[in-house]
Amino acid sequence: MSADQYVVGVDYGTLSGRALVVRVRDGREMGTGVFAYPHAVCESTLPATGEKLPPDWALQVPSDYIEVLKRAVPDAIADAGIDPADVIGIATDFTACTMIPVTSDGTPLCELDAFRASPHAYVKLWKHHAAQPQADRINALAAERGEEWLPRYGGLISSEWEFAKGLQLLEEAPEVYDAMWRYVEAADWIVWQLGGAYVRNACTAGYKGIHQDGRYPTPGFLAALNPDFAGFVTDKLDHPIGQLGARAGSLTAQAAAWTGLPEGIAVAVGNVDAHVSAPAAQAVRPGQLVAIMGTSTCHVVNPDHLAVVPGMCGVVDGGIVEGLYGYEAGQSGVGDIFAWFVDNCVPPAYHEAAASHPGGLHGYLTDLAAQQPIGAHGLVALDWHSGNRSVLVNHELSGLILGLTLQTRPEGIYRALVEATAFGTRTIVEAFVSSGVAIDEFIIVGGLKKNELLLQIYADVLNLPLTVAESAQGPALGSAIHAAVAAGAYADVPAAAASMGGRSAGVHTPIPANVAAYDALYREYSTLHDYFGRGANDVMRRLKHLRRKALA
């Protein structure tokens, strides 16, 4: 009788990395390990020098990612109680677009003495939003020239993506730009560290790197942005592309030492946290919208036809599932808005009352909020504390709370913020539906699926049946599924998903009276959304400009 085989999926999130050991034959989750990045997200100062960072910056330190391999993977193996010799493959998923400037051997520039003090030499995390001016120029020029790739991204390129970040790097730190061999997605850098070879994954290349139908934006377009940017694709970006689920390399001796896994096992092509989660939730048929909800929310859906959907992040042929068009949309801030509120806006009495609550302050506020009838708080909020990724694609937007009175209490604001994120999701759903991409089911993956109030609010606001992924570790399980395919245990990702993924049987069904009540509040949200988001009043952009000037 042969021993069971296992794979390891590693999910690189915004604040920590999580490793999951999964049994190949049925997806059973055997053990897990988590390691929080020691440098977390650098938003105010550069750790190496203490230098103050400008507003809207968000950096990370790449050695933190290696620490995850050294700590979380062995912890997961130990937790699983398995023999590491039975592990046949490893795969990773990462936040995106998170970018690292590297030398030709993969060394991040920030690890060189010459660039240790240079903020631009560090990892720019997905939520680094300081490249908005560059994104604005890219969008204006692409619209003016009628670039054929633009509609694939809903008509707008995000400041979070490769070209905006690359142009900012060139213009603000040309010495770093010149010194880097390639500008690499962290999703691919970590695979390079594991498997010894740089393979650019099809997913980020398509969604974040404007790679469509085998082509990137032309040198002529890039030169029109900035003459020195003409060679960005050829000199800094272009590289052979690996398909999702393919083998990128074999575990190196060094990576084997880091992780305690056998040298030479399969290392899968890199992937993105959101996209990898759809197979984990077995949500790969047209009509199923998967929301990976955590710090932010990423939405993916796989219709069988191409449509132009305004404000989407992107569409890539086979970007998630072979044979279908993989659409991505997103909300830049969700869980981190709730965390910001809990950390900064809740008085001591609530902290004290929540001390004995099993769900902590979030759980306590949720319980209080659940007692309120819809609309009783008198509030409506805009969920733009981190800007708006879809459908407005504008990170100069900011959050708003309206309806405050002297009777307003923290649980009311908390509920209004949860509702605002649901309204933001509905805006995305309506953009899909009105563009001909049907949505008939909403599936939540990620930490927020534990919040019953949030789930019912989403079901009611969206007026869609809502299920949740069975796994508490959707992205890590999704990565493990890709590891199994890369190791040759399954023929392809859908086959592996059928055996290894899963969704809970329970469904949150919309309650008609709640749906009607939320329709009224959603109309208010939509009016404010369009007033502040579509140019009638650009106050948010002007306030960000004033803020930057004041802090300069």
- Beta carbon nearer to a copy of itself, 112 or 539: 539
As a whole number of angstroms, the distance between CA 323 and CA 494 comes to 11
Q: Which amino acid is at 451?
A: N
As a whole number of angstroms, the distance between CA 527 and CA 542 comes to 20
Tell me the CA distances in angstroms from 388 to 189, 207, 361, 393, 545, one per residue in order: 27, 17, 26, 5, 17
Residue written as tokens 């604001």? 413
- Beta carbon nearer to a copy of itself, 45 or 435: 45
Structural contact between residues 418 and 394, judged by C-beta atoms closer than 8 angstroms: no
- Beta carbon nearer to a copy of itself, 375 or 465: 375
As a whole number of angstroms, the distance between CA 51 and CA 42 comes to 11
Give residues in contact with a copy of itself (CB under 8 A). 43, 55, 333, 336-337, 340, 343-348, 351, 372-380, 385-386, 398-410, 517, 520-521, 524, 527-528, 531-532, 537, 539-540, 542-544, 546-547, 549-551
Structural contact between residues 384 and 333, judged by C-beta atoms closer than 8 angstroms: yes
- Beta carbon nearer to a copy of itself, 15 or 498: 15
- Beta carbon nearer to a copy of itself, 193 or 386: 386
Min. distance of Cβ 535 from a copy of itself in angstroms? 13
Min. distance of Cβ 340 from a copy of itself in angstroms? 5
- Specify the DSSP class assigned to residue 423: H
Structural contact between residues 200 and 185, judged by C-beta atoms closer than 8 angstroms: yes
Min. distance of Cβ 409 from a copy of itself in angstroms? 6
Helix (H, G, I), strand (E, B) or coil at 281: coil
Min. distance of Cβ 375 from a copy of itself in angstroms? 4
Q: Which two structure tokens, joined as six digits, stand for 452?
A: 């019953």
- Specify the DSSP class assigned to residue 444: E
- Beta carbon nearer to a copy of itself, 70 or 409: 409
Structural contact between residues 445 and 13, judged by C-beta atoms closer than 8 angstroms: no
Min. distance of Cβ 376 from a copy of itself in angstroms? 4
As a whole number of angstroms, the distance between CA 246 and CA 493 comes to 10
As a whole number of angstroms, the distance between CA 94 and CA 276 comes to 10
CA 239 to chain centre: 23
Min. distance of Cβ 328 from a copy of itself in angstroms? 22
Q: What is the CA radius of gyration of the chain?
A: 22
- Beta carbon nearer to a copy of itself, 109 or 540: 540
Min. distance of Cβ 449 from a copy of itself in angstroms? 22
Min. distance of Cβ 410 from a copy of itself in angstroms? 6
Min. distance of Cβ 544 from a copy of itself in angstroms? 6
- Beta carbon nearer to a copy of itself, 197 or 511: 511
- Beta carbon nearer to a copy of itself, 35 or 532: 532
Nearest in space to 258 (alpha carbons), one of 548, 518, 17, 547:
17
As a whole number of angstroms, the distance between CA 240 and CA 217 comes to 16
